[in-house]
Amino acid sequence: MACKETEGADISAGMTLDQYAAAKICEDTPLRSLELCTEPTYMGAVCEQGLSCVYQNTFSWRTPTTPLPLENNPRVVFERLFGEGGNAAERLVQSQKNRSILDWVTEEVVSLQKHLGPGDRNTVNEYMDAVRDVERRIQQEENRNGESPFAVGTPPVGIPESDDEHTKLLLDLAFLAYQADVTRVVSYMIRREESNATYPQIGVPEAHHNISHHGGNPDKIAMVSKINAHHVALFGHLIARMRATPDGDGTLLDHSILMYGAGMGDGNIHNPHLLPVLLVGGGRGALKGGQLLQCPDNTPMMNLGLSLLDKVGVEVQRIGDSTERLVGL
């Protein structure tokens, strides 16, 4: 589904692939999903061509009108995953505090609803659905903390000065979330659209967005290629950790599916076609490895989405502009 062109609060897009998966495979995890980013996402109200900045600041939507915020502070992410403490007893105390806060929020919202019109009531009802989901997960977390000795160590101090270390730290937190089974669905936006980040550590001091409009200049194309290769190498940090971690009859990577990609095939002309996608992991034997699939031109990306959901046991008939499953995946 295309996003609604609006500068106001009446935003609308579509439930995203990660949230279809989370609704099914994360029913018994403390967190439904985890959404991460490297760059801060606070921006103005309008970003480009009359579109709300919400569309650039997240790529995870729980419902067509409920975008999920991305978090870039490792300390905040750690506390969301494990509370302030690194052992089960301390996490249990934090869960009980969260329960008290939610009780207060619920009481306040019930009082507020008496004074709202039908449209606002629908918005609040969506919010309360999310609150009830959190309440259920807190109960699950309290039960898990009474059983699991899993320790995660000391919380990060904050955002590292080095951009690469920042990215790796967030990937380490994604790894811990998988390893501790806090959630089974993580989304990570390394860079948002129109990012002006620079990469002097790999010899690219120019702003990313500017050189993506390369105009055919071979030097700029080479710099964009360097950035792409660098991002894939950072993604490799997570892959290596998951491959080195035993899990049941294999490794954590054997039992997972990781997808890496981007929204532009050619940033120079904002062309969203011919998108390269990297799939890593075994998906408990559901995903074939060591192959290159070349899809016909104009194959909807969500054909891949439907196929991946099938492999994790989530049955969906259609997502966005999907038309069928991919063959050979």
Residue 263 burial by Cβ neighbours in a 10 Å radius (0-12, 13-18, 19+): exposed
pLDDT tens, position by position, 167-225: 999 999 999 999 989 899 999 999 988 889 999 999 999 999 999 999 999 999 999 99
**How far is CA 196 from its chain centroid?**
21
With both helix axes pointing from N to C terminus, report the angle between 301-311 and 17-25 in degrees, rounded to the nearest 10.
10
| Cα(74)–Cα(61) distance, integer angstroms | 22
Tokens, residue 218: 């071979």
Read off the pTM: 0.82
| Residue 315 pLDDT exceeds 60 | yes
| Cα(325)–Cα(329) distance, integer angstroms | 9
The pLDDT value given to residue 141: 58
Q: Which uninterrupted H or E stretch holds 125? A: helix 118-145
Q: Which residues pair with 61 in a beta bridge?
A: 67
Across the chain, mean pLDDT equals 85
What average pLDDT score do residues 49-65 get?
87
The pLDDT value given to residue 243: 96
What average pLDDT score do residues 125-151 get?
60
Give the residue from 304, 287, 307 showing the smallest Cα distance to 295: 304
pLDDT tens, position by position, 273-310: 889 999 999 999 999 889 999 999 999 999 999 999 99
What is the DSSP-derived secondary structure letter of residue 202? G
Domain map (residue ranges) of the chain: 87-151
| Cα(138)–Cα(134) distance, integer angstroms | 6
